[in-house]
Amino acid sequence: MNTIKHRAENLNNGGSVTVYYCGYEKCEGGHFWGPAVRNQYLLHYVISGKGTYTVGEETYTLHANECFLIRPGERTYYIADREDPWEYMWVAFDGFDVLEILRRTGLVSQYTTKLENGDEFIRYMHEMIDEFNKGSLFKVMSGFYGAMSVLEESAHGGAYTREHEYVNKAIGYIKSNYGYPIQISDLARHIGIDRTYLYRIFSASESMSPKQYLMQVRINAAKKMLLAGTYTVSETALSCGFSDSASFCGRFKRCTGMTPKEFVADSHKQKSSSNT
């Protein structure tokens, strides 16, 4: 029988990132899961031993201090080595900010990564799992973001360059001011660098331009307000940095393929279907 130390589920905070479940397991040789698909992102960290992970036509062999990511809707299969089975921890998560997290941790375009500081990552994961079982939402998210910060540092070689500092300042400025009619020139002036230079380093780091990132933040914020059900389309538009509801609705449809009203109706329909 497999030894499962922790498996915690169903603590949904409804925020920009939700941790759905997390746990730890020391597998027996040949223990496997799949082939099947997941509904959320699922990140495993291998503490010891080894195993293989298959997604699509690609198969990866993983050892201690390596992570593998499962994306929602993708057919995957993974199995513990029969002679040296792996011991791993995992966390399932999803939300509006997930793509940003994947970009910052180097997992936006790959399925595996190797950690430089496994002990610190394990500490944060244990904290998250333990607090999940207690139902302590903020401590759970503290553990989750701590683990992600270790991944981020590992992805950047354990050190932040001046360019990373500029990008982080740009992201912070956008998140604090997206509700105002800010321009990218304002962003560059705030940081104290040339606009062209900002465009280059931001695009290299985030895989999108500062202008695209600003629009993504505005649209994600608008989605949250619309789903809250307490704000009109006009209030949402003005709160998220759009000059009027017409320009907001046009941009929202170009970004999501739906009007704000269609988005709300579709979200309610999906939620209703998942509860039946």
Domains of the chain: 3-155 (2.60.120.280), 162-274 (1.10.10.60)
* 1 confidence band (pLDDT: 50, 70, 90): very low
pLDDT in tens, 176-207: 899 999 999 999 998 889 999 999 999 988 88
Strand-pairing partners, residue 90, are: 23, 44
Regarding pTM above 0.85, the answer is: no
* 271 confidence band (pLDDT: 50, 70, 90): low
Q: For residue 5, what pLDDT is reported?
A: 44
pLDDT in tens, 193-242: 999 999 999 998 888 999 999 999 999 999 999 998 889 999 999 999 99
Sequence letter at residue 13: N
DSSP category for residue 161: -
Residues across the chain: 276
Task: For 203-247, list the strands marked E by DSSP.
Answer: none
Closest CA to 22 of 107, 150, 139: 139
